Amino acid sequence: MKEHRSEPEIRVVLTDSDFQSVYHDSVTISLDEEETVYEAKILHGRREIISIPEQENGIGIPSINRQYGMPVYSGRMEIRPCEEGLLLINILPLEEYLKAVVPSEMPSAYEMEALKAQAVCARTYAWKQMQEGRFSEYGADVDDSVSCQVYQNIAPQEASSRAVEETKGKIICQDGQPVEAYYFSTSAGVTSTDEIWGAHKAASWLQSVPCKFDEKEPWSAWEVRIPWSNLEEKAASLLKLTGRLKSVSVQKKSQSGAVTELAVATESGSQNLNGEYAIREFLSPGGCRITERNGSTVDGGQLLPSAYFEILKQDEEGVTLKGGGYGHGVGMSQTAANEMAKEGYTYEEILNYFFRDIELEEMF
């Protein structure tokens, strides 16, 4: 890691408008307001890769919709026909990629030192993904969804771009090797280790640390009531357990307090769920209202806000959960980083708080 390299390019496979699939039935390319449509059924069976060079005004993709509307991409584009549809791959310098990741992952109104910490985490995560080849079957390094890092859901912003520029090339290392620089929204008062995902031993840089900086954030505490009917659907689809739901019960928690094993019992049998993601998916509050710390209510999504919860009560209608935090809880809390920045912490100090025994090194 000591020698400096030239800035690498990253290859990003772009998902559809719902971030659900990397395959597209058709792709529309807009170059200076002139549109060209590529249809999967027409290009099917062709081995050729369609290459679109970098454009001064960027490459627009009207067939994809993002939070800010039609996304416009830096770098160049490849369209690859394959059996399942069209793969759309954006190839661009890593630092340009980060300028469209950071505002998509952290509000650009956050403090500059928090944005810098986020930029270093995002760069480290991307660099690690590039080494591991997880998306090589698509001819890419990463995708643009939450399974990697959200890219271009929000257009580059001045503050977040500055944060990328002022940390150029810096990544988090331990013993000269890049770490998995995880981050999440809001803590429940403590961070998790990767043991919540089944690791037999926590990674040395991912220690559980107390986190009081974000204790006044709305998502630091929440409550939700979930009807049995919702959970019976999940029991049938995820666990193949049918019939009336009889109970759910916490079987195991991590050292930091996240639920890592949940028992589910129905008329047809019982089964244990393991891992924070599977548990949060089963306890989906979709269609329910979640009450936050400040008393405001928000619509529930596909996942329970976090695995830091307790079961307050169960009755004939459903289950009431009381919890804290938003996200998986591993690594850096973004809202805590913002509060730390307000208190005068530098981005290096923020990173050294959440990740232990690390060094910041320049990769190029």
pLDDT tens column, 291-347: 999 999 999 999 999 999 999 999 989 999 999 999 999 999 999 999 999 999 999
Q: Measured between alpha carbons, how far is 45 from 254 in angstroms, rounded to an integer?
A: 50
Q: What DSSP assignment string belongs to 216-260? A: TSGGGSEEEEEEHHHHHHHHHHHH---S-EEEEEEEEE-TTS-EE
Evaluate whether 333 touches 340 at the Cβ level (below 8 Å). no
DSSP β-ladder status, 332-333 and 183-184: parallel
Query: Would you state the structure tokens that stand for residue 15, as one six-digit string?
Result: 């998902």
Secondary structure in 3-state letters for 157-211? CHHHHHHHHHCCCEEEEECCEECCCCEECECCCECECHHHHCCCCCCCCCCCCEC
Residue 144 neighbours by CB distance under 10 Å: 28
Identify the H or E element spanning 112: helix 112-132
pLDDT by residue for the chain (364 residues), tens only, comes to: 445 578 999 999 999 998 999 999 999 999 998 999 999 999 987 888 999 999 999 999 999 999 999 999 999 999 999 999 999 999 999 999 999 999 999 999 999 999 999 999 999 999 999 999 999 999 999 999 999 999 999 999 999 999 999 999 999 999 999 999 999 999 999 999 999 998 889 999 999 999 999 999 999 999 999 999 999 999 999 999 999 999 999 999 998 999 999 999 999 999 999 999 999 999 999 999 999 999 999 999 999 999 999 999 999 899 999 999 999 999 999 999 999 999 999 999 999 999 999 999 998 8
Q: Which of 197, 216, 217 is nearest to 206 (CA)?
A: 197
Identify the H or E element spanning 133: none
